[in-house]
Amino acid sequence: MRNTAKLTTAVLAAGALTLGLSACGSDKGSSTASDYSGPLVVAASPTPHAEILNFVKKNLAKKAGLDLEVKEFQDYIVPNTATEDGSVDANYFQNKPYLDDFNQKRGTHIVPVVTVHLEPLGLYSHKVKSADALKSGATVAVPNDAVNEARALKLLAANGLIGLKDAAGTEATPQDITKNPKNLKFKEVEAAQTVRSLDDVDAAVVNGNYAISAGLKPAKDALVLESAKNSPYGNFLAVKKGNEKDPRVKKLAKLLTSPEVKKFIEDKYQGSVIPSF
């Protein structure tokens, strides 16, 4: 069975932070389902999620009567486990296929509240200037979690680099490849490591938030970029089931889909992050 959640140093470090949050949650942590008096604590990836939340915090939250606290995490595991155990009230970093897979495999009960934006997945390289320039036998790094690996393979297939079985779905793996004209080899790494692997591989499929954090501009730098049309991969605010009616969550959901946030996303990210509302 494939290991879809290989632990890295970043994950372990984030896990330690989660333990710290749990230990000290009583003084500034999340509120219970019936106590909404404290700050709304939201776990988020640094870019663009935390940047968007901090824009809301600095410019919109006070007027709306929302006390917002943003906690940044580098990985795709701890934000959900922290939301499940109550270390944080909500998270903002993921898409629906990823969440569905996570809930099923880990027994968590996280649900989406409102979709905010899409980060197109892209293929990047430090060694070639176009996808066509990849040589036979080139190594391509892809995320090792089930959903993002399938998404990466579909991106490559959509651009003619490989072919996939018609039935390959949200858990497609390299074993589902039917055509590989360039005899590409695939290196499965934790999603946060894909951008860091660019010096060691010929190309890498990188999630938008990690690309932006590394100073890449997806709309400009990607060799091929995921289409935003009819995409199921919009990123959303999420909570543990039962907390959807938290008035603080409702306030944040409204602010995250406001005209002010839409303009902020469009101005700051110039097409590398796309509003989904």
For residue 34, the model assigns a pLDDT of 54
Class of domain 122-225: alpha beta
In sequence order, the 6+-apart residues with CB closer than 8 A to the CB of 244 are 111, 113
For residue 232, the model assigns a pLDDT of 87
For residue 147, the model assigns a pLDDT of 87
- CATH fold match for the domains 9-120+232-275 and 122-225: yes
**pTM, entire model:** 0.74
For residue 188, the model assigns a pLDDT of 96
For residue 171, the model assigns a pLDDT of 77
CA quadruple 56, 57, 61, 67: dihedral, nearest 10: 140
Class of domain 9-120+232-275: alpha beta
pLDDT tens, per residue, the chain with 277 residues = 444 433 333 333 444 444 344 333 434 444 444 568 899 999 999 999 999 999 999 999 999 999 999 999 999 999 999 999 999 999 999 999 999 999 999 999 999 999 999 999 999 999 999 999 999 999 999 999 988 999 999 999 999 999 999 888 777 899 999 999 999 999 999 999 999 999 999 999 999 989 999 999 998 999 999 987 788 899 999 999 999 999 999 999 999 999 999 999 999 998 889 999 9
* Domain boundary assignment for the chain: 9-120+232-275, 122-225
